[in-house]
Structure 1
Amino acid sequence: MSEVYDRLRGEIVDGTFETGAQLVELALAERYGTSRTPVREALRRLEQDGLVERGDRGMRVRTRSPEEILEIYEVRISLEATAASAAAQRHSEFDLIRIRRAQAAMDSTSTDDPAAMAAANRAVHEAIWVASHNGTIVDLLTRLNNHLTRYPATTLKVQGRWAEALDEHRALIDAIEQRDAARAHDLARDHMTKARDLRLQIYREDPTA
C-alpha cells in the first residue's frame, strides 16, 4: 500500500500527472499492477497531504494558484517564526549540533543542482523545527511542505537568493544559539516572507513552474 502511495506521489510531484489530471482508480491499479484498494488508500492519503482534490469527475491532481501560495505562506510564515522562537528557548546542545551540521551541508551544496539546494535548505529548516520540541508545529510544517511540492521550482535559484538565504540562516542560527527568542522569531518571519514573495514572482513568470 505504501509503495503505491510513494509511486503516485512521486509522479504527481515530478509532473508525470499534471495539474488537474484525473486520477481514476481502475486505471491507476492497472498502471501499478495492483488492486483498487491500495490505490484508494493512496488517494486518500494524498488528499490529506494536499496533493490531490475531489473534482466533478472524481479525484484529480490539485490545481495551483497564486491564492493558494498566499494561503500556504500565510500559515507557514507564522509557524516558522513560532518554531524559531521556541527553538531559541528550548534547544539542547544536540539540537544545535544538528542545526549547525545541516547548515554546513547547505554551505557546501553545489548551486548546479537545484534539487540538492532545495533539500539542503529544507534540512536546515527541519532541524530548527525539531529543536522547537513542539510536535504539533513539526507536523503542521511538514504538511505545508507537502503542499509546496506541487510548486517544484525552487526560490533558491532566483539570482542572488542563495547567498542571501545562507546569510539569513546564519543570523537565525546565531539568534537561536544565543536564546534570543524575539530576534529568532523576527528573522524567521522575514526569511519566509521573502520566500513567499519570490514564490509568487516565479508563479507570475511561469504558472507551471
Structure 2
Amino acid sequence: MRADVYDRLREDIVTGRLETGAPLTELALADRYGVSRTPIREALRRLLQDGLVERFERGMRVRGRSPEEILEIYGVRVVLEGCAARAAAENRSELDLVRIRRAATAMTETDVSDPYAMAAANRAFHEMVWAAAHNNTLLDLLSRLNDHLARYPATTLTSAGRWESAQREHEELVAAIEERRADDAASAAERHMTAARDIRLRMYAEDVH
C-alpha cells in the first residue's frame, strides 16, 4: 500500500494534477487516496528525498519552479547525458543500435500538433540511449532528473525550429554511437542538452512575463 500511495502521489505531482505550491497535508491526502495517514507520511518523506516536495512554514507543499532550479537540473543532466552517450558508444550492442534507430525514426513520424506525443517520442529516444549505456545507476539518475523537468508543463520541443534541430542533433548522436566514437557521442549529447536548457530558460522567462 505504501508503494502504491507513493507512486500515485508522485504521478499527480509530476503530471501537474497537484500544482506547484499546493499544500500537502496528511489528512487531506489520506482522504484523497483513501488510506490512513501513515502511508501518506512515508510517501511525503520519500518525495522530499526525491526533491519533488519541499517544507514550508505550515508543512509540506509541491516544490516550486524557478530558473535556478532549471540551471541546477540541466547542470547535472548535461553531464549525465554525456556520460550515458559515451558509455552507449562503448558498450552498445547491435540490438541497442536497432532500438535507438527505431526510436529516432518514430520521432520523424510523430504528430507535431501533439506536444505530448512529441515529448513521449523524445523521451523514448533518450531512454534507448540510456539503456545502451548498460549502467543502471545512470539510468536511475537520469529518470529522476526527467521527472523534475516534467513538472515544467510545456515541452521545449514546441519552440520554433526546435523539433527539427533536435532530430538533427539526435542523428549526430546516433552516428557517433554507431561508429563507437565515444568522445563525439558525449559532446553531441552535451550540446543537445545545453540547447534544451537555453530554450527552457527562455520559455520560463516568457511564461513569467
Q: TM-score, normalised by structure 2?
A: 0.94
- Unaligned runs of 5+ residues in structure 2 are none
Q: Which digits, 9 at most, give the CA deviation of each residue in 1:71-118, with x for residues without a partner?
A: 110110011011101111111111111111111211211111111111
Partner secondary structure for residue 28 of structure 1? helix
Tell me the SS of whatever aligns to 1:206. Answer: helix
Note closer, same or farther for the CA distance 1:14–1:137 as it changes in structure 2 (3 Å cut).
closer
Shift of 1:24: 0.2
Q: Distance in 2 between matches of 1:191 and 1:47?
A: 30
Please name the residue that 1:68 is paired with.
69
1:90 and 1:175 map into 2 onto residues whose CA distance is 13
For 2:6 and 2:160, the matched residues in 1 are separated by 35
- Return the letter of the residue paired with 2:58: R
Contact 2:14 2:148 in 1 (8 A): no
Matched residues in 2 for 1:10 and 1:142: separation? 13
Give the count of matched residue pairs: 208
Range with greater deviation from structure 2 (198-207 or 101-110): 101-110
Aligned-CA RMSD value: 1.5
Unaligned runs of 5+ in 1: none
Q: How far did 1:152 drift?
A: 1.7
Q: Who is 1:191 aligned against?
A: 192
Normalised to the residue count of structure 1, the TM-score between the two structures is 0.94
* Deviation readout 1:173-203 (Å, 9 max, x if unpaired): 0110000111111111100000000000010
Partner AA of 2:6 in structure 1:
Y
Q: Residues 67-86 of structure 1 correspond to what in structure 2 (within 5 A)? A: 67-86=68-87
Percent of aligned pairs sharing the same letter:
65
| Pair 1:156 & 2:157 matched | yes
Q: Is the 8 A contact 1:49 1:146 kept in 2?
A: no
Which secondary structure does the structure 2 equivalent of 1:147 belong to?
Answer: helix
Of the structure 1 ranges 82-91 and 192-201, higher mean CA displacement relative to structure 2 is found in 82-91
